[in-house]
Amino acid sequence: MHGLRHPFTGDLYEEGGEVDGGRVVRITTADGRVGTYRPDGSWVAGDKFEADPQLCVWIGGPRARHRLVKENRP
């Protein structure tokens, strides 16, 4: 899957879909522990209990439309 590796811990931060109507971030450690977090870095579920809130925002935060993408207009 696509995601970002934390520069110090090596944990993989990926989009985790939606839980309870909100986007979540899935974090996988090198030893296989997995945790699910909200974009603000708060824990939702899993074996991993600590996260970098800045990477959670980057992965799970709102997406802006790129300035070069044309809008679909009829």
The end-to-end CA distance of the chain, in Å, is: 35
**pLDDT tier for residue 71 given thresholds of 50, 70 and 90:** low
* Beta-ladder partners of 35: 27, 46
Mean pLDDT (the chain) is 88
Taking the whole predicted model, whether its pTM rises above 0.85 is answered as no
Q: Is the pLDDT of residue 25 over 90?
A: yes
- In this prediction, residues 9-15 reach a mean pLDDT of 95
Domains in the chain: boundaries: 4-60
Please report where in the chains the tokens 């899993």 appear, as a residue. 46
What tens digit of pLDDT does each residue of 31-63 get? 999 999 999 999 999 999 999 999 999 998 887
Higher-confidence position of 72 and 14:
14
